[in-house]
């Protein structure tokens, strides 16, 4: 009888260990899935600033020293874009995002902002006290930036390109100013 009791205990322990291992695997998989959802959600949020992102990219309206936001609304949109990137930094500090993935996927966006001397002057130099977290990211990524000697009024203002939907409407207007193509109107 003691032998059967020992075998039963060993089987019970083995079942418990297997259950524990399977639970850990399940938890790790669920954690990876949640992290992937989190990254996709962040990407979704950043798409709301697609026009700002495109303007800052190489050959965009605000690439390097080509220009700066033309309106207060565009400056506010830029603030929101930079603020979302700052939130990423805070989530990294709280271990909600991992640094390596953030650097691989989004660090170039920070470099694009920093590469523009007018934006750097207005946001990162003149208002450095308001952008401490963004500046910490720049330092951590070892991104160099510089401002400009020009007065704000003398910045080359380049408005954002119209959204694609607006551009499509503009391109399909007939000489009379009606939306749609000739074929759509006659058919």
Beta strands in 31-134 (DSSP E): none
Q: What does the block give as tokens for 136?
A: 């910490």
Q: What is the dihedral of CA 152, 113, 85, 82, to 10 degrees?
A: 20
Q: What does the block give as tokens for 115?
A: 């590469």
Average pLDDT value for the chain: 83
Burial 14-26 (b: 16+ CB within 10 A, else e): eeeeeeeeeeeee
Q: Give the DSSP letter string of 73-88.
A: HHHHHHHHHHHHHHHH
Q: What does the block give as tokens for 43?
A: 């990407």
Condensed to tens digits (0 to 9), the pLDDT of residues 72-91 reads 999 999 999 999 999 999 99
Cα 60 to Cα 69: distance, rounded to the nearest angstrom: 12
Condensed to tens digits (0 to 9), the pLDDT of residues 13-71 reads 888 888 888 888 888 887 888 877 887 888 889 999 999 999 999 999 999 889 899 99
For the chain, the domains span 1-47, 49-173
Residues 6+ apart with CB under 8 A from 15: none
Cα distances (Å, whole numbers) of residue 135 to 28, 48, 69: 34, 23, 20
Q: Indicate if the pLDDT at residue 177 is higher than 60.
A: no
User: 68 - beta bridge partners?
Assistant: 157
Give the whole-number percent of the chain exceeding pLDDT 70: 86
Contact 172, 183 (CB under 8 A): no
Reduce the DSSP state of residue 68 to 3 states and report it.
strand
Q: Indicate if the pLDDT at residue 175 is higher than 80.
A: no
Helix 2-47, helix 99-115: angle, nearest 10 = 10
């Amino acid at each position: 009888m003691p032998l059967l009791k020992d075998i039963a205990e060993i089987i019970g322990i083995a079942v418990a260990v297997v259950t524990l291992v399977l639970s850990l695997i399940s938890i790790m998989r669920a954690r990876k899935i949640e992290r992937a959802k989190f990254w996709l959600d962040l990407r979704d949020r950043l798409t709301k600033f697609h026009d700002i992102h495109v303007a800052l990219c190489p050959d965009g309206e605000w690439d390097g020293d080509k220009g700066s936001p033309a309106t207060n609304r565009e400056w506010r949109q830029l603030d929101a874009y930079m603020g979302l990137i700052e939130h990423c930094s805070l989530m990294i500090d709280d271990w909600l995002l991992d640094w390596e993935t953030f650097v691989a996927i989004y660090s170039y966006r920070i470099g694009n902002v920093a590469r523009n001397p007018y934006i750097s002057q207005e946001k990162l130099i003149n208002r450095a006290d308001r952008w401490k977290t963004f500046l910490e990211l720049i330092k951590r990524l070892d991104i160099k930036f510089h401002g400009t000697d020009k007065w704000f009024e003398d910045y080359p203002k380049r408005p954002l390109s119209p959204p694609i939907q607006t551009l499509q409407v503009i391109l399909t207007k007939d000489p009379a100013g009606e939306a749609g193509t000739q074929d759509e109107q006659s058919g």
